[in-house]
Amino acid sequence: MTVQDIQGYGIEARARLVAEPPKRAGRGAFERDRARVLHSAALRRLSAKTQVMGAGTDDFVRNRLTHSLEVAQVARELGQSLGCDPDVVDSAALSHDLGHPPFGHNGEVALDAAAAACGGFEGNAQTLRILSRLESKTFAEDGRSVGLNLTRATLSACVKYPWARGEGPGETPKFGTYDDDRWVFDWLREDAPALRRPIEAQVMDLADDIAYSVHDVEDGVFGGWFSLVPGRIDVAAVHHVARDWYDADADDARLDAALARLQDLPEWPRAEFDGDRRSRAVLKSLTSALIGRFAVAAQHATIERWGSGPLTRYRADLEVPQDTQDEITVLKSIAAHYVMRADDRADTLAQQRELLTALVHHLVMTGDRHLEPEFATDLAKAPDDAAALRVVVDQVASLTDVSARLWARTLLG
């Protein structure tokens, strides 16, 4: 029995869709997974995709790539503290946004509507499609692409929502696979408890929440969108966003208490941000304190509930205290109210959705004339109109914010 078997990653966890010959000694299967994600074209494209504010609009704010790198750092350390393989968690974190189309969540809305006839669009389902089909690395004997051919443990950790559309808990609109990728999904979920995520995926998800709750606030303050000085936040509006977007059950008392705890931290800013080095240092100290606060709270709660580990795969669940969840929700809601839902962005958001919708329509009408070679090949193999539409959506989703606008100018005038 190997060390990995002892730590909870046996033969089934290290299996790949297509068996591969042994590689050079000293490099494990999960290390190779991480290298494949790190060198993928899909990861590079994230550098020109929107995080909160448009990619390229400011030299300071995050784009999807820098956000993913920060998520990976948080996830790797938290996962390692629980006994997860750090490369599995790191790969999941690097991959978590690969399926995002141009213009972030706004682009998801547009493509979901445009792809209604082939099952809709979801960034997380698109991530699985990229990793297991669209990225060029490995082919099966029947000629079918299996993408990066990641191990089952790594691919499972990348699936934030382990169900197809309409199969999830409650009325969640989120899902993790399209119908025509179900064969991969069923393989990676073999013997997994229904609807349950491996702890590595849970760590990735929390790290994502931590990173964008903290860093979106940092970007918003730096960009002058809002102030964190006590008394300057529109608390009622933030609470409304919290219930509307993130937690319908969060009452004012819980949210007020969470904001009060955050503002009581010694690192919380007491003076207005003016952009000089001292105020930047104050802001950076806050982000460091918040990330540590949230990650340590989850680490301690998980070990208290499940023991010291190693906690891997389906042997445990990540425990996040309610107070920590509320504090993260408050931070996300501040950024959402002042940036994502700002009135002066409404016209821009509408234009972005119209652009992507028009691109999909035009590419459907023109066949393979404008598709990149890999997607033109997919289109030639499409058995019906729904499959052909999915190929077009794959093409548009692969574009960056910059290239989507360029395609629109070139093809649509």
How does residue 23 score in pLDDT terms, banded at 50, 70 and 90? confident
* Domain that residue 362 falls in: 346-412
Residue 338 and residue 234 in one domain: yes
Burial 271-285 (b: 16+ CB within 10 A, else e): eebeeeeebeebbee
User: Last residue of some domain: 342, 364, 395?
Assistant: 342
pLDDT digit string, tens, across residues 221-249: 998 999 999 999 999 999 999 999 999 99
The reply to whether 403 falls in a domain is yes
pLDDT digit string, tens, across residues 366-401: 999 999 999 999 999 999 999 999 999 999 999 999
The reply to whether 331 falls in a domain is yes
How does residue 193 score in pLDDT terms, banded at 50, 70 and 90? very high
Can you tell me the distance from the alpha carbon of 84 to that of 82, in angstroms, rounded to the nearest whole number?
A: 6
CA–centroid distance for 258 within its chain? 25
pLDDT digit string, tens, across residues 116-160: 999 999 999 999 999 999 999 999 999 999 999 999 999 999 999
Residue 76 and residue 116 in one domain: yes
Task: Print the SS3 string covering 275-315.
Answer: CCHHHHHHHHHHHHHHHHHHHHHHHHHHHHHHCCCCCCCCC
Q: How many domains does the chain have?
A: 3
Can you tell me the distance from the alpha carbon of 303 to that of 80, in angstroms, rounded to the nearest whole number?
A: 12
The reply to whether 50 falls in a domain is yes
Residue 20 and residue 76 in one domain: yes
Residue 224 and residue 329 in one domain: yes
User: Last residue of some domain: 188, 216, 233?
Assistant: 188
How does residue 6 score in pLDDT terms, banded at 50, 70 and 90? very low
Predicted pLDDT of residue 303: 97
The reply to whether 193 falls in a domain is no
Residue 160 and residue 21 in one domain: yes
Predicted pLDDT of residue 346: 80
The reply to whether 206 falls in a domain is yes
Residue 51 and residue 120 in one domain: yes
Residue 39 and residue 122 in one domain: yes
CB 211, CB 292: distance < 8 Å: no
User: Last residue of some domain: 188, 222, 252?
Assistant: 188
Whole-model pTM: value is 0.93
Residue 16 and residue 103 in one domain: yes
The reply to whether 194 falls in a domain is no
Residue 88 and residue 178 in one domain: yes
Q: What is the DSSP letter of 133?
A: I
Residue 71 and residue 179 in one domain: yes
Residue 8 and residue 55 in one domain: yes
Residue 176 and residue 31 in one domain: yes
